[in-house]
Amino acid sequence: MLTIYGVYRSRALRNIWLLEEMGEPFHHVPVIQNFRAGGAAGVMHSRSPEFLAISPNGGIPAMQDGALVLSESLAINLHIARRYGGPLAAADLAEEGLIS
């Protein structure tokens, strides 16, 4: 199952919103920016070892879909549309070029 790492108060909102609009099941792992964590224990943040194992540069959002890991919100949305999008996916190569 596709996993999105990030919180609503980040650009992960773009990915979460798209998946919810599509009705596509996904797993959501809240990850906040390190500066917002304030040293709180038990909170996954952008510099925690668990998250850096997924996104080595600490970028939020991140997505894991099988072996594929992406960490840029618009690239994630393009992947979601291409893989799961149905009518949201490009109809042909010309339309693919227009949205890329």
Each of the 100 residues of the chain gets a pLDDT tens digit; together they read 999 999 998 999 999 999 999 999 999 999 988 777 666 667 788 898 999 999 999 999 999 999 999 999 999 999 999 899 877 788 888 988 887 7
In whole angstroms, give the CA distance from residue 70 to residue 6.
12
Q: What is the pLDDT of residue 86?
A: 79
CB 85 within 8 A of CB 18: no
CATH homologous superfamily for the domain 3-99: Glutaredoxin (3.40.30.10)
State percent of the chain over pLDDT 90: 62
Question: What is the layout of strands, in order, in the sheet containing 3-5?
Answer: 27-29, 3-5, 62-65, 68-70
Please provide the distance, in angstroms rounded to a whole number, between the alpha carbons at the two ends of the chain. 25
pTM: 0.86
| DSSP category for residue 85 | -
